[in-house]
Structure 1
Amino acid sequence: MKTNLDRGPWASSGVETIRPDVHRIPLPLPNDGLRAVNVYVLEDGDDLILIDGGWAISESLRALEVGLAALGHDLGEVSHILVTHVHRDHYTQAVELRRLVGSRVYLGAGERPGLDMLDEVRTDVPVTSLDTLRRAGADQLAERLLREMDWSGFEASVWEKPDHWLRPGVVQFERHALRVVPTPGHTRGHVVYLDEERGLLFSGDHVLPHITPSIGFELTTSGRPLADYLDSLHLITTFADAELLPAHGPAGGSAHARATELLEHHETRLEDTLNVLGRRASDAFTAARDLMWTRHEVPFAELNAFNQMLAVNETAAHLDVLAERGQLAVEIVAGVKRYARTDGIGVRDVR
């Protein structure tokens, strides 16, 4: 769950050179959780390539200008922006830079259904996440979010289509070759970029050094987000190990080691989720309220409404994996999914 405050010096440290032609610039975010998003600058002949674009706010654009100037460059040299996923702290400034200087924007093809949905229904509400809440037995929370949250950031005008939809393969530039690896889970179209020559993994939100990303916060159906995420973590370990260059948190360390830690974390979380069910059938909302959240073990009641939504939806994803593994029985009662253990500790009849 990507709600932990991660306030290390990485968020305000200015330009960090990872390799002679690879640099990290943290850009500010307008919220109290994650303070910054890392944008990576790859020098490529006369051009600059960005990995992720940041959030389209004036403070972020100014920070990017200052960072590029420190490297002897300016915005007009940004020719290509490879975005890891469609969330607004990664995508929206890429679109703004295209308007300002003509940069070409790249995005994983798996994000297309979400952007198409905005075109088709012209909604400013992330419908699927709220529908998941309702199926989880959290109708009141869904209605509260509709009333209280500012959904203006989901206006269709903010989310223009990219210039290139990316599929698995290698994107070749003058000095850099980046392997596009689809890693669904955090979003269905999330991709990471692997620089095999330099041994660098631009991991976006898929592998983060200090926190676990939220799962399945989508504008359209996300299918089996946690199962996909676990498969995607395993996938990372099938490539040669690389230095981790995440979107949030300090750069460095083994991508394999952190992916393994995240897999172990989710196995523990699956066990915790199974245990809170006890002997009664339960919905995801009830289970989420019985779990603790973030690495600081925060009770559910102390989370704000938005993070409660992430917590409930993440619990639902864990329960669905347990059901897929045969450890839970599932039935839909009055539109709500209810789960019960099948190991003799819980009840089999979930009605």
Structure 2
Amino acid sequence: MKIERDGQTVFPVIVSNSSSLKSVNFFLLKEREMLYLIDAGMNDEACWNTLLHTLEVNNLSLSDLTGIILTHHHIDHVGLVDRIVSRHPIPVFVHKEAVPRLKREPAFLEKRADFFEKLYKEMGCGEAGEQQARFVREAIEKNKDNALQASLTPIEDDFLTSLSLRIIETPGHAPDQMALYDEKRGWLFGGDLLISHISSNALVEPDSSGNRMMTLVQHRNSMKKCLDLKMNIVFPGHGTLIENGESLIQNRLSRIDKKAGKFVSFIENGSATAAEIALRYYKNVYYDQFSLVMSEVIGHLDYLENRGHVAKIKVDGVWQYTIQP
């Protein structure tokens, strides 16, 4: 499969799986003598073999690659980087916020562990929060060998002009997420900004200084920013290619408002903390997918607070939410 328009060609590398994501997608982008890989899948044989096969059937090889561009730092977008670069040394371009995460810098990871320990206490999560905070801290040592060995180059605003692309900062799902936009062709390489069959999670994370970001507010703003773009095709990190980007964004924005409204009703009926709201809405999923659930709830409470619909006050170290008159 390839998509061609006005001298530029995209070769999608799509690896199907049985998870809720349905597939892991990354893309070869060819323009003139340049061939860039946008994202790099998982570090497994399925992604590796599919990449090699896609190159081969299009009369290309690893040695034709000019560089790798990563939309964000998550493991399912960066997996093959070291494997590729060890065979064919090429530059790897990333958002500057991705560097401490991809390099697993100990000082940053310790700050991140402190962040989650404090966050879950403040949100009233009790033992479930303490358990997750321990998991985050233990992962520093457990996953130290997962740091990328390849040299990383923070991307500059003018770097992609030679590829008819421009960078659009789209934080929310990840602090470092960026989309790559080709205005002439209406192509958007969106990472996990938009996925056709599921809503992308706005994952609660600290910034490089250890401060909490309003990630759902960011994610919503990132989607709204893309409404101003001509989007003929969105190339997503998972699922099918998207040809109805504008309507999908409107649907996602509507779903955020609907869920936020549900949380308002919970607060009106006595659920005062983020953990209480999470348990009431998600029930046992709160325990099974704790970090995802808390990101959803905290994100929507931030959104409501940002819009002036709720306020919070700290009582015995825990944030209590109330409805604003």
Category of TM-score, reference length = shorter chain: 0.7 to 0.9
Q: Are residue 133 (structure 1) and residue 120 (structure 2) matched?
A: yes
Is the helix fraction higher in 1 or 2? 2
More displaced 10-residue stretch of structure 1: 218-227 or 87-96 = 218-227
Q: CA deviation at 1:93?
A: 2.1
Letter in 2 for 1:163: L
The aligned runs of 1:209-288 (5 Å cut-off) are: 209-218=196-205, 220=207, 221-280=211-270, 282-288=272-278
In the TM superposition, residue 68 of structure 1 has moved relative to its aligned partner by: 1.7
Q: 2:300 is matched with which residue? A: 318
In 1: Cα distance, 2:159 partner to 2:244 partner:
22
Q: How many angstroms apart in 2 are the aligned matches of 1:47 and 1:76? A: 11
Q: Is the 8 A contact 2:116 2:133 kept in 1?
A: no
Residue 76 of structure 2 aligns with which residue? Answer: 89
The Cα of 1:124 is off from its aligned counterpart by 11
Greater Cα offset, 80-89 or 212-221: 212-221
- Amino acid of the residue matched to residue 307 of structure 2? R
Q: How does 1:59-98 map to 2 (within 5 A)?
A: 59-98=46-85
SS at match of 1:172: helix
For residues 151-186 of structure 1, the C-alpha deviation after alignment (integer angstroms, 9 at most, x for no partner) is 47742652457532125456033xx31111001111
Gaps of 5+ in 2: none
Q: Which residue, out of 327, 334, 341, partners 2:309?
A: 327
Q: Which amino acid aligns with 2:154?
A: W
Q: Please give the residue correspondences for 1:80-119 in structure 2 after superposition, counting only pairs within 5 Å.
A: 80-112=67-99, 114=101, 118-119=105-106
Report matched runs for 1:7-86 at 5 Å. Answer: 16-19=1-4, 21-27=9-15, 32-86=19-73
Output the CA distance in 2 between the equivalents of 1:219 and 1:99.
31
TM-score normalized by the length of structure 2: 0.86
Q: Deviations over 1:12-55 (max 9, x none)?
A: xxxx32326212111367x8442431111112344421111112
Structure 2 counterpart of 1:17, which letter?
A: K
Q: Contact 2:81–2:150 at 8 Å: present in 1 too?
A: no
2:318 pairs with 1:336? yes
CA RMSD of aligned residues (A): 2.9
- In the superposition, relative to structure 1, how do residues 240 and 44 fare at CA in structure 2: closer, same or farther (>3 Å)? closer
- Give the conservation status (yes or no) of the 8 Å contact 1:245–1:252: yes
Q: Is contact 2:91–2:151 with CA below 8 Å preserved after alignment?
A: yes
Aligned length: 317
**Higher mean displacement: 184-193 or 101-110:** 101-110
Deviations 1:36-94 (A, max 9, x none): 31111112344421111112223322221122222222222222111111111112322
Which residue of structure 1 aligns with residue 154 of structure 2?
165
Residue 296 of structure 1 corresponds to: none
Distance 1:331 1:88, change over 3 A: same
Structure 1: which 5+ residue stretches go unaligned?
Answer: 1-15, 292-298, 344-351
Of 158, 174, 178, the residue aligned with 1:187 is: 174
CA contact (8 A) 2:279 2:286 kept: no
Residues 203, 245 of structure 1: 8 Å contact kept = yes
Pair 204,103 (structure 1): closer, same or farther in 2 beyond 3 Å = same
Percent identity of paired positions between Structure 1 and Structure 2:
20
